[in-house]
Every structure is written in C-alpha cells, then in structure tokens.
Amino acid sequence: MPKAYALSALAVKNATKTGRLADGGGLYLLTTNGGKRWVFIFRWHGKRCEMGLGSASKIPLASARKLASAAREQVALGRNPIDVRNETATAAAMPKPQNVTFGAFADEYISSVEAGWRNPVHRKQWRSSLRDHAGNLSSLPIGDVDTDAVLAALQPIWLVKPETAGRVRGRIEKILSAAKVRGLRPRDSANPAAWRGHLDILLPKRPTLSRGHHPAVPYNDLPILYHRLQERPATAARALSFLILCASRSGEVIGASWGEVQGDAWVIPAERMKGGRVHTVTLSPVAVEILAGLIRGKDDDFIFHGGDPAKPLSNMALSMLMRRMGYGEFTAHGFRSSYKDWVSDMTDYPDELSEEALAHIVGSKVRRAYRRGEALERRRAMMNDWATFVTSKATSNTTFV
C-alpha cells in the first residue's frame, strides 16, 4: 500500500485532460477523448507491463485501489497478475466437473499440449483417431468412463488395426490421467485404459508385425479410402488410386512413363522390376480412366509428376498423402497385401494367379511360360473384379468367380 494516495473521488470526476494521473502504488487513471479508465502498471522480468482494471465510470476509486492492491500482492508473490486473472477467467468459464464429457475434456487437453508437438500430422491424428475409434466415449461424463466403455472402443479394432488400436488406447489413458490430475476423476481410482495388469488381461494378444512386413489397410476399408482419394485433386492422389487398382509397388508407379502404357496394359521393363523380369499389368477400365484424365506427355515423360514431366513424384509423396488422410500407420506397399487378402477371402481365383499379378515368381520356368497367355486374360478378369470392389460405395460381400 502506498504511503499516501494522490487522487480523490472529486479529482477523478473532474479529470478531462488527456493524460495519465498517478494515485500511487502503480495505480493510474488514464483519460483519453473524454473516457477514463484504471490501469495498474508494474515491471515483469525487466519489462513494463500495463494491466487494465476497468472503466472509471463503473469502478469507483476505492474499488480500483483494492484491485491494484491485489495485483501488487501477486507481483510480490512472483506471479504475473495478468496471467493470474486470465487463468481465473478460464477456470470460471469451464463446465462444472459433473458436466464435463470425455469429448469436451479431450479437446481441451489436446489444445493444451499440442503446441509441443512439432508434427502437425500428429496433432490431426490425435483428434481423428479419437473421433473415429472412441466415439462411444465422447458424450460420457469424464468421471463415468470405465473399463467396459474403453473395451467397447478398442475391441472392434484391436486385431484388425493393431497399431491404431494401441495408439488409441494410449491416448485414452493420457486423457483420463489428465482428468484425474484436474480433479475430474477420483484421485485414488485406477485408470480404465491402463495396459499392464489391466487391459493386457482382458484383450487378446495383438498380432506382431514381422520384419519386412508392411502394415496394410484392411480390404473392407478400401472403398471408403478410395472414394476419399477421388475428392483430392492432387497428382499424388491419382498415383495412389492407380497403385491400389494395379496392386503395384510405389516405385513402379512413381517411375512409370507414358511409353510403358499400351492400351489397357502397362508393361514394366525388367530394369524397373524387383525380380528383374518384364511384368505386364492388366489395366481395369477404372485404371485406364485415371490415365485418361491426365495430360499425356512424350513416351519418356513420367505419368505422375509434380509439374515437371521429366521428374517423377517424390518417394515420400504417397506416404505423406496417407498421413494427411489419417492412414499414417499404413504403407503404400501394404495395399498389395490388402489385394492378396481380398483375393484369398472373397474370390475363387487360384493363389498362383494373384501371385503372378503381384509379379511374384510362381512355379517352374517351363510352367510359367506355358501359362503366360491364359494367365494374362484371367488376371484381367481378376483385376477388373478388384477394381469393382475397390470403387464400390459400400463394402461388398459378393464372392467373385
């Protein structure tokens, strides 16, 4: 408290000249264009700071002095009074504990910590994964989320999307732990999303990825993914669509030139194939349509490029696209596994036929030469069926013959 105050109520009322009048202890009356307001001026880490206290027409001198006194106490305690006021306002605006839902608190938690996440894709995936795979928790009061609710979120994806499921579980656990710290859950309660000694007992062991395995999008999810790709105008989206339809490797697609396309067939030279053998890909009508929608260049020009036909898309273009779409845990190469699983589960085509479509070596050299003509036409029918499935609006249960 200052030794003596400089202002009086009458002085405040009669102040009309633009300027600043000091009352003492950091409290000032600012007059501008006939308006008068109170400010508290202090130094914080060597810098001059100004904290508004409100209009003098609404806050009398005595009240302004009390506000300034409270601000001085915060400075003396080593706290910035502006920060303290903002924190108090935020806390007051938050819903009462009994009204806070998991979804509302999750949004608040992510917003409070995402500034420390350098990867913007990581920020997006936190929200999208909780929205897509923990939607049943969203409307539940944060204090009511229990083990059964967490299991209901995880069980549908635990075995079919093991990596995604693991990340979702970890994110739910962090959110519930933060809620406990904030007093929105009992401090002595167990976390229903905890793994060791809890969910590891209730959930089956997830399949582990062997070295060299490429995480694949389950084929039942492909129609949705494919239609989302069609909403994107970028060349990378056209390249990834073409890759899925052809069940090809990313290097084969990115390196494709116009001279390799021969009508409804794509002949990849031996030097660009992993097995060192010429490989013919039968193009479905949908794949042909994708190529027809691009500007055809010279035979040596790359089909999928970023603007310069002499330079192909970056090797990272497809993986970056998948991350932006929320499929970052999968790889472009994994679509070959999706295709293989579809053939095995949903069709009567022989295994060796799908292996040949994938450019895998099947049988002896003599048998491969003998089957080449017949296999090409049967592969065409198989790839057309694959395209029909991928471009369907809903997952099909039809068995293709």
Span 95-115, pLDDT tens digits: 555 579 999 999 999 988 887
36 occurs within a structural domain: yes
pLDDT-derived band at 122 (thresholds 50, 70, 90) equals low
pLDDT-derived band at 331 (thresholds 50, 70, 90) equals confident
Identify whether residues 368 and 227 lie together within a single domain. Answer: yes
Proportion of the chain above pLDDT 90, given as a percent: 41
Identify whether residues 284 and 361 lie together within a single domain. Answer: yes
Q: What is the 3-state secondary structure (H, E, C) of 57-121?
A: CCCCHHHHHHHHHHHHHHHHCCCCHHHHHHHHHHHHHCCCHHHCEHHHHHHHHHHHHHHHCCCHH
Residue-by-residue DSSP string for 209-246: PPTT------GGGHHHHHHHHHT--SHHHHHHHHHHHH
Res 93: pLDDT = 57
Tally of domains in the chain: 3
> What is the pTM assigned to this prediction?
0.47
What type of residue sits at position 241? S
Query: Tokens in use for 6?
Result: 């400089």
Looking at the predicted structure, is the pLDDT value of residue 298 above 70? yes
Span 361-371, pLDDT tens digits: 655 453 454 45
Q: What residue numbers bound the domain in which 103 lies?
A: 98-202
Res 2: pLDDT = 63
Using the 3D structure, point to which of 40, 72, 93 is the last residue of a domain. 93
Q: What is the mean pLDDT of the chain?
A: 84
Using the 3D structure, point to which of 41, 61, 93 is the last residue of a domain. 93
Res 387: pLDDT = 94
Identify whether residues 79 and 105 lie together within a single domain. Answer: no
Identify whether residues 163 and 259 lie together within a single domain. Answer: no
Residue-by-residue DSSP string for 3-20: SS----HHHHHH--SSEE
105 occurs within a structural domain: yes
214 occurs within a structural domain: no
Identify whether residues 192 and 274 lie together within a single domain. Answer: no
Average pLDDT over residues 199-219: 70
Contact (CB, 8 A) for 26 and 72: yes
Span 211-254, pLDDT tens digits: 344 578 888 889 999 999 999 989 999 999 999 999 999 899 99
Average pLDDT over residues 127-147: 92
- Residue found under tokens 């003492």: 24
Res 212: pLDDT = 42
Handedness of CA 249, 253, 257, 263 (dihedral sign): positive
Identify whether residues 227 and 370 lie together within a single domain. Answer: yes
β-bridge mates for residue 54, sequence order: 38
Identify whether residues 272 and 358 lie together within a single domain. Answer: yes
Identify whether residues 278 and 143 lie together within a single domain. Answer: no
Res 350: pLDDT = 83
10 Å CB burial of residue 141 (0-12, 13-18, 19+) is: middle
CATH number at residue 127: 1.10.150.130
213 occurs within a structural domain: no
